[in-house]
Structure formats: C-alpha cells, structure tokens
Amino acid sequence: MERHSELQANLDRVKKRIDDATVAAGRPPGSVSLLPVTKFHPVRDIRILHELGITAVGENREQEARAKHQEFPAMEFHMIGQIQTKKANAVARWAAAVHSVDSVRLAEALDRGVGLALERGDRSVDKLPCFIQLSLDGDTSRGGVAADTAMEVAQALEEAPHLTLTGLMCVPPLGWDPLTAFSQAREVLTGMEQHFDRDMEFSAGMSGDLAEAILHGSTIVRVGTEILGSRPIP
C-alpha cells in the first residue's frame, strides 16, 4: 500500500498543478487531460494508476509497450516515442493512440498495420487516433515533421481509412523558451483546425513546462518522473 499512497499523492499534486495552470490561463476546468508516462516502470505501477482512475498512459518503446499491453490490456497505451516504419504493424496492434506521426510514409504504414490487425483479430477498434509530431527547429532527426510540411502529413492522416487525424504533439527544442515554442506550435495547429474545420487536441507540456503549454491551449500534458519517480535502470 505504500506505493499506492505514493502514486496517489503524486497524482494529486500534478493534477493540482494542471488545475491551477488551467484556471490561470482562463480556461474551463477539466479541459486538460493528464497522460502519465510509464517508460521503464513496471506493470504493477500501471495497475495502481488504473485503480486510481487513470485510463491511459504513454510509452516510448514499442517492444516494452506491447509487453505491458499484453500483461494488462485494461489500460490504454499511447505511443509517444519515435516509430520506425518497420515497427508500424506492431504498434497498430496495441496502441490506443499515436502521438508521434512524422511522415506520410509512417502514416501509410500505420494505416496498413491497423487494417492487418483488424483482419487478424488483434485489434477491435477500427480507427487509430494519430497526432502529428511537430519539429519546431526543423531537425527531424530527433523525430517530428517541419512546420512547412506538416499539412502534407495531416492530409495523409485525414484520408487514411483506418486512422483519425486527432491533433498535434510537440516538445520544445533544447534551449528554446517554452512560451515561444508552444506559441509557434499552436499557430500550426490552428491552421490545421481551420483547414479541416474542426477542433483538435494539442499534446504539449511536461513536468517543467506544463503551465506554459496550457497557456497556449494544450489539452494533454505528458508527465512521467513527477508521478512515478526516477526511472529504474532497464
């Protein structure tokens, strides 16, 4: 029960930070969701989070996430790390959402993967929600698509029969002011919302910059260490 109490206290503290930032930004209570990041943490922690009301967590690595999903399928697992195209079929079997689509090629591979998973009975939900990962500094080697080509990826997601264009994800580049980063990302997302004529999700903000992200309209913040503690050595 000690770990249960620890995670409860950590969740309460992070949720209060989110609530305070939401109020400070003049936004409606409950308009920002929390996605705990459970990379390297054991399934027993994920079970506790589920008991505490968490319905989805974020994972960075396909193999680890797949194993956790197999052990505890009651939790939804979101893929937030970079995906090699050759791993798209595997991700499509277990992912409840993907936050890191950064190319038309990956979008097409995920679409094929979902179709295959449905045929094989490995997946019951026929649409995979997908976020475009934005690279604000244009260095796509770390994942993400440059702003000037984001709409091309968005169109591919919109047209894919087994995918849903859900929104945008970003991480401020090292050395960037978070307010500047999230402001620029918000402009890109607004352009997408106007083009497709609907509101979309904004997956932005982590422990150190969630207030700045919420100020610029984040609807999902991703928090790991502040909830689960230091990551165990894998």
14-27 pLDDT, tens digit per residue, is 999 999 999 999 99
How far apart are alpha carbons 90 and 40 in whole angstroms?
19
Evaluated on CA atoms 98, 102, 104, 105, the torsion sign reads negative
- Identify whether the C-beta of residue 170 lies closer than 8 Å to the C-beta of residue 204: yes
Closest CA to 11 of 49, 58, 39, 67: 49
Whether the per-residue pLDDT at 88 is higher than 80: the answer is yes
Give the model's confidence band at 142: pLDDT under 50 very low, under 70 low, under 90 confident, else very high: confident
At 168-215, the pLDDT tens digits run 999 999 999 999 999 999 999 999 999 999 999 999 999 999 999 999
More confidently predicted of 232 and 156: 156
Residue 172 per-residue DSSP state: P
- Identify whether the C-beta of residue 101 lies closer than 8 Å to the C-beta of residue 107: yes
Closest CA to 169 of 87, 102, 92: 102
pLDDT of residue 234: 54
The values of phi and psi at residue 74, to 5°, are: -65, -25
Q: Provide the residue count of the chain.
A: 234
Q: What is the mean pLDDT of residues 58-83?
A: 97
- Identify whether the C-beta of residue 11 lies closer than 8 Å to the C-beta of residue 19: no
- Identify whether the C-beta of residue 119 lies closer than 8 Å to the C-beta of residue 92: no
How far apart are alpha carbons 43 and 18 in whole angstroms?
25
pTM of the entire predicted model: 0.96
Whether the per-residue pLDDT at 233 is higher than 90: the answer is no
Average pLDDT of the chain is 96
Q: Alpha helix (H) ranges present in the chain?
A: 2-24, 43-51, 62-71, 88-94, 104-120, 150-159, 178-196, 210-215, 225-228
How far apart are alpha carbons 57 and 157 in whole angstroms?
23
Domains of the chain: 2-225 (3.20.20.10)
- Identify whether the C-beta of residue 67 lies closer than 8 Å to the C-beta of residue 88: no
